[in-house]
Amino acid sequence: MKLLVRRLFPYAGKIAFRGGSYKGGEAQDMNYRHAFHAGNFADLLKHAVLLGLLAALRDRGRPLRVIDTHAGAGVYDLEDTPTLKSGEAAAGILRLAGTDEACDPQLQILMAEVRAINPVGLRHYPGSPLLAARALGPKDGLIACELRDEEADLLRATLDRHGPRPGPVVRVRTVDGFGYVATVSPDPAASTLVLIDPPYEAGDDYDRVVETVERVLARMPDAVVAIWAPIKDLETLDFLLRRLEAIPDARGYVAQLRLRPLVNPMRMNGCAMIVLGAAETAAAALATTAQLVRLCGETGAQAVVHPLGG
């Protein structure tokens, strides 16, 4: 795995891109709820990589099964007070929509999906379960886990309104996604993708990510697992990566989008997508991360992509 990823990008971990400026969200706190950050730089990376993974898994020629552990409401109004207050969409999806720079393919697909639910203007931003549902076909399945009753109800309405017809078999579960996905049985006939995207508000979220990945891979060693994580400082991220790397069958890559040098651990300085499995998507993830650095990053921003596991 290490050789494959290094052949794809031999300078992994040493690539820096400069350009642009990040003006939104200067007073960022540690609230990672979907509505507060809808359409920000982290959503752009997470959702572009997700769409790339779905395309790669489709190429394997088997039905797809997607399990989203922290699904949210499915679509977000960029003019709602929380989103306007954060200012992050202006420095994310709105900036991407207004750029003349040629997008990499994954960002082009994401932008097309955003336009599809916005016949006029750009007011709504799709969440991961809606993007997944729209990318899946009638033979595929989506299980979206959302613990909060109100958000789960909104998600059901969103998928009914914006989902494709005919579309995948969709189940919205009002459950704790960490616990639920760890009990899902293998499906030998399908390719399984698990998206783990917690808010990192609870003190044990990092522990539960590691525990969940360990339990998922023990039951489904061929599953592709995609994990989103914030970057405040390298120590916290590196500790998470070391713990994931110690899990048997955990092999993949990490795409880090660093908006700025990691000198202030009280800020959200970037984010990472950790992908276990689907090594063929590493080069595309690097291209996406690099473009987002140019689009959203401050001076000293970096795109860092490196292998995980031996």
Return the domain boundaries, the chain.
30-256+271-289
List, for residues 101-114, the tens digit of each pLDDT value: 767 999 999 999 99
Helix or strand holding residue 105 (H, E): helix 105-116
CA distance 51 to 281: 10
48-66 pLDDT, tens digit each: 999 999 999 999 999 999 9
Prediction pTM value: 0.88
Closest CA to 195 of 259, 139, 151, 130: 130
How far apart CA 231 and CA 272 sit, in angstroms, is 7
Residue 18 and residue 193: Cα distance in Å, rounded? 33
Place of tokens 């790397």: 245
State pLDDT tens for residues 69-98.
999 999 999 988 666 766 889 989 999 998
Using CA atoms, how far apart are residues 11 and 67, in angstroms rounded to an integer?
33
Q: What is the CATH number of domain 30-256+271-289?
A: 3.40.50.150
d(CA 154, CA 161): 11
Q: What is the pLDDT of residues 25-49, one digit of tens each?
A: 333 333 445 667 899 999 999 999 9
Which tokens sit at 19? 């350009």
Structure tokens at 205: 């979220």
Q: Is the pLDDT of residue 186 over 70?
A: yes
Q: What is the distance, to the nearest Å, from the Cα of residue 155 to the centroid of all Cα atoms in its chain?
A: 18
